[in-house]
């Protein structure tokens, strides 16, 4: 998705290496996905479902970057 | 000694030969180079996986002339780290034609993430991915900055 838009950044984390990340994002299972610090979900999603999360973040007015 | 076993190297070399098109630059930000380093004393090793990640990327660089690796210290090369918004090590960013593609890997890409790294290298090199056309057109219309964080563990 990052490839398709200059506005999208995709970040992969090896959570096991970063304790602060596990605490901050309350990671109890993987893969966990967090979009713009506001939308989060657990587990791999079909493309359409994933896209709808991204579009929701894109349309929400309060977004941080 | 390379981190990748001989048969893995052969498999990846072949895959790269078949699939890579354009050059891909992997930019590594690693630990070390901190101002806190005491002169004359070696840096503490093993504080993170920067050494292993650097070795892994150089292994990949050996497997295809289309893969280039640049190595920076997050601490010593602050301007670069800020430009790529890197706040932890090891971190990998992808460049295609010197342009930031917007992909980051934080931590050593092992297990599932190593597969994802290879897939991303190939996608970036080809300049295309497997998303549906309808997905791409919706993404292209986005005007707000979006950061998607994916947390995994090596399994």
- The CATH number of whichever domain residue A30 belongs to comes to 3.40.30.10
Give the global pTM.
0.91
Is A64 inside a domain boundary? no
Q: Backbone phi, then psi, for B86, in 5-degree steps?
A: -105, 125
Q: How many CB atoms lie within 10 A of CB A61?
A: 5
Secondary structure of B54-79 in HEC code, one letter for each residue: HHHHHHHHHHCCCEEEEEEECCCCHH
- Judge whether A48 lies within some domain: yes
CA distance A53 to chain B (A): 10
Domain span including residue A38: 2-59
Tell me how many domains chain A contains: 1
* 3-state secondary structure (DSSP) of residue A15: helix
Q: What's the pLDDT score for residue B41?
A: 54
Assess A62–B contact: CB distance below 8 Å, yes or no: no
The per-residue pLDDT string of chain B (155 residues; one tens digit each, 9 = 90 and over) reads 568 999 999 999 999 999 999 999 999 999 986 545 555 555 555 578 999 999 999 999 999 999 999 999 998 999 999 999 999 999 999 999 999 999 999 999 998 899 999 999 999 999 999 999 999 999 999 999 999 999 998 76
- For residues A45 and A35, give the distance between their C-alpha atoms in angstroms, rounded to a whole number: 14
Residue A65 lies in a domain: no
The CB density around residue A43, as the number of other CB atoms within 10 Å, is 9
pLDDT tens digits, one per residue of A39-64: 999 999 999 999 999 999 999 876 44
From chain A, the residues in CB contact with B151 under 8 A are: 13, 15, 21, 25, 27, 30-34
Query: Closest Cα to residue B104, out of B118, B129, B85?
Result: B85
Contact residues for B5 (Cβ-Cβ < 8 A; gap 6+): none
Q: Could you tell me if residue A18 is inside a domain?
A: yes
Nearest CA-CA distance, residue A13 and chain B, Å: 5
- CATH code for the domain defined by B6-140: 3.40.30.10
pLDDT at B112: 84
């Amino acid at each position: 998705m990052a490839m398709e838009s200059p506005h999208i950044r995709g970040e992969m984390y090896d959570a096991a290496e970063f304790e602060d990340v596990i605490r901050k994002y309350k990671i109890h299972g993987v893969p966990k996905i967090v979009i713009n610090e506001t939308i989060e979900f657990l587990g791999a999603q079909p493309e359409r479902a994933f896209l709808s999360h991204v579009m929701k973040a894109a349309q929400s007015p309060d977004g941080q970057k | 000694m390379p981190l990748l076993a001989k048969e893995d190297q052969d498999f990846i070399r072949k895959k790269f030969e078949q699939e890579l098109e354009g050059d891909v630059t992997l930019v590594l930000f690693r630990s070390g180079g901190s101002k806190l380093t005491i002169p004359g004393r070696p840096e503490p090793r093993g504080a993170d996986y920067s050494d292993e990640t650097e070795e892994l990327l150089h292994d990949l660089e050996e497997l295809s002339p289309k893969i280039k690796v640049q190595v920076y210290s997050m601490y010593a090369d602050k301007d670069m780290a800020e430009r790529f918004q890197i706040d932890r090590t090891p971190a990998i960013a992808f460049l295609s034609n010197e342009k930031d593609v917007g992909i980051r890997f934080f931590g050593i890409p092992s297990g599932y993430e190593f597969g994802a790294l290879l897939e991303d290298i190939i996608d970036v090199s080809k300049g295309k991915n497997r998303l549906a056309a309808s997905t791409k057109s919706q993404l292209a219309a986005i005007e707000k900055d979006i950061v998607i964080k994916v947390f995994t563990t090596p399994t």
